């Protein structure tokens, strides 16, 4: 058993025309991690844990609107910078080398299942006239609760590599790089024109853990 702390850089991968990535975000993951050796050599391990995963994303969403009666159709890109928190349970398989000095090197592959518990965003929002048909202006909303616009479940592919250093007995420091590729749509109730918006959250993390 051990404790994991991992700073990460996340980004949003758009999959709908009129929706595009607008930069990366910095976040972190922390929680409990555990591994179970498979076989007598200890070169194969099944790993899991319980993490609080904080990742974000930034995107531009193209909208069409009118600002006067019988006026021309205008276009504008609305920016959204969102931050999400998930409870995540990974299921991974790790392949280890034999000990070289005090070091062992590994590759890791598996899946992640996460449940959304929080979503906030800074975003551009239109202000309509009394009829609701014409846009008077756009305003910046800060720290808005957008949990209803985020899918409750996120599934991902996990790929990683790194090394372990044994201090003494069972006390081991692990350091590595992990790529977490989301393959379920992040957004819900978000549209681009008459189409449902679709995009994915991906992130790269510096994985630091101590096993006891």
pLDDT tens per residue across all 212 residues of the chain: 999 999 999 999 999 999 999 999 999 999 999 999 998 777 999 999 999 999 999 999 999 888 877 778 889 999 999 999 999 999 999 999 998 888 999 999 999 999 999 999 999 998 888 877 788 889 999 999 999 999 999 999 999 999 999 887 778 999 999 999 999 999 998 999 889 999 999 999 999 999 98
- From the list 160, 198, 190, the residue with the least C-alpha distance to 29 is 160
Joined tokens for residue 107: 């590759």
| pTM of the predicted model over 0.75 | yes
Q: Which residues of 54-74 are buried (b: 16+ CB within 10 A; e: fewer)?
A: bbbbbbbbebeeeeeeeeeee
* Burial class of 176 by CB neighbour count within 10 A (0 to 12, 13 to 18, 19+): buried
Contact 190/198 with Cβ under 8 angstroms?
no
Structure tokens given for 56 = 């974000």
- The encoded tokens of residue 124 equal 């551009």
Beta bridge partners of 13: 200
Describe the chain by its helix, strand, coil percentages, rounded to 5. 0, 75, 25
Show the CA angle centred on residue 79, arms to residues 196 and 20, nearest 5°: 55
Q: Residue 134: is it exposed, middle or buried by C-beta count within 10 angstroms (0-12/13-18/19+)?
A: middle
SS3 148: helix
């Amino acid at each position: 058993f051990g404790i994991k702390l991992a700073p990460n850089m996340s980004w949003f991968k758009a999959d709908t025309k009129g929706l595009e990535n607008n930069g990366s975000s910095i976040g972190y993951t922390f929680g409990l991690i555990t591994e179970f050796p498979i076989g007598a050599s200890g070169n194969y391990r099944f790993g899991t844990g319980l993490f609080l995963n904080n990742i974000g994303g930034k995107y531009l969403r193209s909208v069409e609107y009118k600002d006067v009666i019988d006026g021309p159709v205008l276009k504008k890109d609305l920016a959204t910078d969102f931050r999400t928190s998930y409870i995540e349970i990974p299921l991974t398989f790790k392949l280890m080398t034999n000990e070289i000095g005090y070091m062992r090197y590994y590759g890791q592959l598996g899946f992640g299942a996460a449940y959304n518990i929080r979503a906030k965003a800074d975003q551009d929002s239109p202000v309509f006239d009394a009829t609701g048909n014409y846009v008077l202006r756009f305003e910046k909303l800060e720290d808005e609760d957008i949990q209803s616009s985020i899918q409750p479940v996120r599934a991902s592919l996990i790929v990683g590599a790194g090394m372990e250093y044994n201090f003494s007995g069972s006390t081991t420091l692990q350091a590595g790089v992990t790529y977490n590729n989301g393959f379920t749509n992040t957004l819900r109730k978000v549209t681009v024109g008459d189409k449902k918006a679709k995009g994915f959250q991906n992130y790269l993390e510096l994985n630091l853990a101590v096993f006891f």
